[in-house]
């Protein structure tokens, strides 16, 4: 049986703080949500290790280090509305909801989306709405958003998602180019979009964010 308290402390002290995650708001948000309750029972013993945890139906929860560092970059404020793309079983949405005013959590797999709704209800995450739709579509009718969080690696960010950002909004993700993953932040400014590389990150891919293949002659 997992000692979740010790596992959480080890994760914070050995995975997060040494990797520049020292914002106490983020530490508190992560500490408030039992990660092990969002993974299959057979994987609860490894819920706090620093790797992506698959949860079935091709879906997964991001590794703690990458997830936390993306939160640092996103700089989520208490008044922010967040779009969480690829929420899987709802862990990421539950943590983001500790920081934001509201979270719209997107999951395209109906079975996983239903599981997310149940687990979020079990955690009394009343400021999260789960929407079942294609991940790459986002939820424009609930936008625009202060923060968009992509919960996995992508080859490109669709224009339709970037249009759902407020001016001053931030989109954080892991982009893969030539097989190498790096975390990115894209800010929407009055002059357009400003993109910045942040750190190396090797995470599983989100479906539907592949680059369109050009014609080969």
**What structural domains does the chain harbor?**
4-200 (3.40.50.150)
**Res 211: pLDDT:** 86
Q: Is the pLDDT of residue 215 over 60?
A: no
> Could you give the CA distance from residue 35 to residue 94 in angstroms, rounded to a whole number?
10
- Give the pLDDT band of residue 214 (cuts 50, 70, 90): low
Q: Is the pLDDT of residue 217 over 60?
A: no
> Could you give the CA distance from residue 156 to residue 211 in angstroms, rounded to a whole number?
6
Q: What is the pLDDT of residues 69-115, one digit of tens each?
A: 999 999 999 999 999 999 999 999 999 999 999 999 999 999 999 99
**Res 29: pLDDT:** 98
**Res 4: pLDDT:** 87
Q: What is the pLDDT of residues 162-178, one digit of tens each?
A: 999 999 999 999 999 99
| Strand ranges in the chain using DSSP code E only, listed in sequence order | 53-56, 59-61, 81-85, 102-106, 128-131, 145-154, 165-177, 180-189, 192-200
- Give the pLDDT band of residue 209 (cuts 50, 70, 90): very high
- Stretch 135-147: mean pLDDT: 97
> Could you give the CA distance from residue 162 to residue 142 in angstroms, rounded to a whole number?
14
| Strand ranges in 107-191 using DSSP code E only, listed in sequence order | 128-131, 145-154, 165-177, 180-189
The answer to whether 157 and 193 are in contact (CB under 8 A) is: no
- Give the pLDDT band of residue 36 (cuts 50, 70, 90): very high
- Stretch 202-207: mean pLDDT: 96
| Whether the model pTM is above 0.85 | yes
- Stretch 16-29: mean pLDDT: 97
């Amino acid at each position: 049986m997992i000692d979740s308290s010790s596992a959480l402390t080890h994760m914070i002290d050995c995975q997060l703080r040494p990797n520049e995650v020292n914002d106490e708001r983020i530490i508190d948000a992560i500490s408030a949500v039992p990660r092990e309750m969002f993974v299959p029972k057979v994987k609860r013993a490894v819920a706090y290790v620093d790797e992506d945890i698959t949860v079935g139906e091709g879906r997964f929860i991001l590794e703690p280090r990458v997830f936390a560092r993306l939160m640092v970059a996103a700089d989520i404020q208490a008044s922010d509305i967040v779009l969480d793309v690829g929420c899987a079983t709802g862990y990421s949405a539950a943590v983001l909801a500790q920081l934001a005013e509201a979270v719209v959590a997107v999951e395209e797999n109906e079975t996983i989306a239903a599981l997310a709704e149940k687990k979020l209800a079990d955690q009394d995450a009343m400021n999260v709405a789960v929407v079942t739709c294609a991940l790459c579509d986002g939820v424009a009718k609930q936008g625009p958003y202060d923060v968009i969080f992509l919960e996995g690696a992508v080859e490109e960010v669709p224009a339709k998602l970037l249009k759902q950002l407020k001016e001053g909004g931030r989109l954080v993700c892991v982009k893969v180019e030539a097989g190498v993953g790096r975390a990115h932040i894209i800010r929407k400014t009055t002059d357009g979009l400003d993109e910045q590389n942040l750190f190396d990150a090797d995470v599983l891919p989100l479906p539907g964010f592949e680059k369109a293949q050009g014609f080969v002659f």
